[in-house]
Amino acid sequence: MASKIDLSVDLARLHLRNPTVLASGIWGTNASLLLRAEKSGAGAVTSKSCSLNPRTGHANPTIVLNEHYCINAVGLSNPGVELESEEIREAKSNCSVPVIASIFAHSIQDFEAVAQKIAEAKPDAIEINISCPNVSNEGRMFACSTADSSSVTARVKDIAGSTPIFVKLSPNVSDIVSIAKSVEDSGADGIIAINTVSGMIIDAYARKPVLTNKFGGVSGPAIKPVALKAVYEISRAVQIPIIGTGGVTTGIDAAEMLMAGAAAVGIGTALSYPGRSFGAIVAELESFMAENGYSGIKQLRLDE
């Protein structure tokens, strides 16, 4: 009789029934949408990033989706941390899987303020999205600098206390490994790699950029090789777990991300494609593992 496949993972004091995590920004800020992801089979859920004050985001068009990629310039629209904290509380009250609250800010002081407020909602973990412009450093992303990344991580960690913090890294940097090591040294309990890749699309007939914002973040199948390389390199340089995110659309994609060194797998753009759901991806992963003699998630990681 075949041995039972154990899909569960432990992630910085969180226990997940399977390694899939709803990525931030995909299904909005409402608790009902986080619960929908749980019912669909997610192992953990992440809210859309929220800021200290409400943000309307960019004007339409903000999203273009095709079979190869998605590019978006939504502009981090959110209701602000006051209202988002209420959604996190509701999600926590009704959700049977870990709830991760994502935050962003444009200054270290605002990161401290939004972290303080979101921590009061008692999420199971806090995601720090450092891929946004740093107004105190001439508009450069926090994620572009080891010093800035380290400072934000340390400040939020002090506020979060025993609540795990995961730092979301940008691929749009010259050395993502050094950034990963800096946030680990500053107290991060885990890393999320990667955020979207910076890109642009142009309508040749209209002779203008398609997105109102001109530039956006590319996600979906096209960025999987970039994400795999980042996860592979980071996992060999740090001791904390990684949620590998970027281009995972199938159970085989999830297996590849786990082989690269991820402890769990973020699922985002895939949910926009027909037939794609957490349940489908988990079932495909389980089938692959059974067919190839794996009984647990840790066995998938490639040898050094």
Place of tokens 């994620």: 143
Q: Which of 117, 160, 112 is nearest to 136 (CA)?
A: 112
Cis peptide before 61 (omega within 30 of 0): yes
* Two tokens, residue 277: 């759901």
Among 50, 70, 95, 132, the active-site one is: 132
Sequence-distant contacts of 202-205: CB under 8 A, at least 24 apart: none
* Two tokens, residue 226: 């970039």
- Per DSSP, the three-state class of 260 is helix
Q: Which of 107, 127, 79 is nearest to 268 (CA)?
A: 127
Burial class (CB in 10 A: 0-12, 13-18, 19+), 158: exposed
Q: Are strands 242-245 and 14-16 parallel, antiparallel or unpaired?
A: unpaired
* Bridge partners for 208 per DSSP: 203
Sequence-distant contacts of 80-83: CB under 8 A, at least 24 apart: 80/50, 80/51, 80/52, 80/53, 80/54, 80/55, 81/50, 81/51, 81/52, 81/53, 81/113, 81/114, 81/117, 81/118, 82/117, 83/29, 83/54
| CA 271 to chain CA mean position, Å | 14
User: Does residue 144 carry a catalytic annotation?
Assistant: no
**Residue 140 is which amino acid?**
R
* Those residues with Cβ within 8 angstroms of residue 60's Cβ, 6 or more apart along the chain or in another chain: 212
Active site residue ranges: 132
